[in-house]
Amino acid sequence: MLSIIKNKLHDASISLIMVTFLLSVIGLISIGSVTINQDISFTDTSFFRQILWMIPAVVFLFITFSLSRKNIYKYSPILYFLFIMLLFVPYLSTQVAGTHRWITFGSIHIQPSEIAKFLIVLVLARYLSNPKLRLNRKSAVLMPLIITAIPALIVLKQPDLGTAIIMASPVIVMMFWAGVKPFNLFLLIAPIMAILTAFNSLSFWIWAVLLLIILYLARPTMVMGVVVYFANIFLGLLSPTLWNMLKPYQQKRILTVLDPTLDPLGAGYQIIQSQTAIGSGGFLGKGWGQGTQTQLKYLPVQETDFIVSVIGEEFGFIAIFIILVLFGWMLLRMLKLAYESDNKFSSLAIIGIMVIFLTHIFVNVAMAAGMIPVKGLPLPFLSYGGSFLLSCYMMIGLVINLGINYSD
């Protein structure tokens, strides 16, 4: 196996692994800071548990890295269906923290959705890389949506809106990358825009006009154009009803992000405390273990969803800068690997995984900084969480594996 690894390692992969480890070490230091003052035995700390999880994570990284590309291609649909089944398993047992997210083995909780999210990408890549696929047909858009929607809807029902967003994020970009007509993708995005703009009559009118112009420029058939236009407008008019279908706490989360002071003790509390932690860190931070916001536990779920607030408070802007640059570099490196890949399947898979990482980073960091509603999503490599760490490492393994060009 070592020889396979040695043969397959290339420059890009080494630097990607280095960055992965570097980010993990920063994560461990930060988790250590959160747990260092807790009054529990060391083996119960999330710091220690995270170190333990590193072992299977590294093992699985090398497994996904060593798999033959042919096997990945061949078995991804079976695994995809298998994991859809597994997504139902948590429903058979009792709820953990109010949701059906975890499968429990003794004291270990596994989230099948963490694995399912990149299996979706692999299956999408397989479907979209089929040379017989007529990408210009509208039907080519339908199948990827179904592939995405099934697991995403199951996860949404758990309820785990965060993971559902992650699962849904790669499909549009992957279709774009695969060569689906931009107008067809636009038709997918248009309803979402219609819903979002419908909350303000001015923005809705602007969108209605914009839609008209785009339809004119794209010149679809007359019937098609009229149907698309009115379907979108109708959807926009319906969206207040859709808003009311959201759970009150979800509505509240969205509203409080617009003005955190609305609810200083509820959803707004987390945002205010997180921003205070970050802002008070300044350029150099307060030092390891010295963040008062962190240590006095004003911050909620600090080692998972709000790890970036801990880093911001204790290590300052400089650390945030380094982390975001590392993430940026990592994403651009994946983009490059996808561009240079010698086959369409690999290229699409890498792009999909890149989008998963990008979405995780954006949602988590923007949330901690109070830019978007509080949504429980961890930050790759840095946040505490076993299944998530495992899944991130496996995705890195896949990226490196699929990024090898045999034609060179």
Instruction: Compute the half-sphere exposure of residue 322: CA atoms within 13 Å on the CB side of its CA.
Output: 13
**Three-class secondary structure of residue 370 per DSSP:** coil
Cβ contact 408:366 at 8 Å: no
Could you tell me which stretch among 17-25, 208-216, 252-260, 353-361 binds other proteins (CB under 8 A)? 353-361
Cβ contact 304:385 at 8 Å: yes
CA gap 4, 26 in Å, rounded: 30
Query: Hey, what amino acid is at 84?
Result: I
Helices vs strands, H then E, count in the chain: 17, 2
The nearest distance, CB 64 to other proteins, in angstroms, is 17
| Interface residue with other proteins, options 70, 221, 241, 261 (CB under 8 A) | 70
| Cβ closest to other proteins, residue 198 vs residue 361 | 361
**Three-class secondary structure of residue 108 per DSSP:** strand
Could you tell me which stretch among 5-13, 18-26, 69-77, 253-261 binds other proteins (CB under 8 A)? 69-77
Q: Is 186 in the site for other proteins (CB under 8 A)?
A: no
Q: For residue 109, what is the enclosing H or E element?
A: strand 108-110
CA gap 124, 138 in Å, rounded: 16
Q: What residues numbered 91-150 form the site for other proteins, per CB under 8 A?
A: 129-131
| Cβ closest to other proteins, residue 133 vs residue 233 | 133
Q: Quick one: 342 exposed, middle or buried, by C-beta within 10 A (0-12, 13-18, 19+)?
A: exposed
For residues 361 to 390, the per-residue mask of contacts with other proteins, x marking binding by CB under 8 A and - elsewhere, is: xx--xx--x-x-------------------
Number of residues that bind other proteins (CB under 8 A): 63
- Look at residues 125, 144, 142, 147 and name the one whose alpha carbon lies nearest to residue 81: 147
Q: Return the structure tokens found at 93.
A: 């047992």
The nearest distance, CB 90 to other proteins, in angstroms, is 27
Q: Is 338 in the site for other proteins (CB under 8 A)?
A: yes
| Cβ closest to other proteins, residue 114 vs residue 314 | 314
Q: Is 271 in the site for other proteins (CB under 8 A)?
A: no
Can you say how many angstroms the Cα of residue 377 is from the centroid of all Cα atoms in its chain? Answer: 8
Could you tell me which stretch among 65-73, 150-158, 191-199, 201-209 binds other proteins (CB under 8 A)? 65-73
The nearest distance, CB 355 to other proteins, in angstroms, is 9
Q: Is 257 in the site for other proteins (CB under 8 A)?
A: no
Which residues of this protein are in contact with other proteins, per CB under 8 A? 37-40, 69-70, 73, 129-131, 173, 176-177, 275-283, 289-298, 312-313, 316-317, 320-321, 324-325, 327-328, 331-332, 335, 338-339, 341-347, 351, 354, 358, 361-362, 365-366, 369, 371
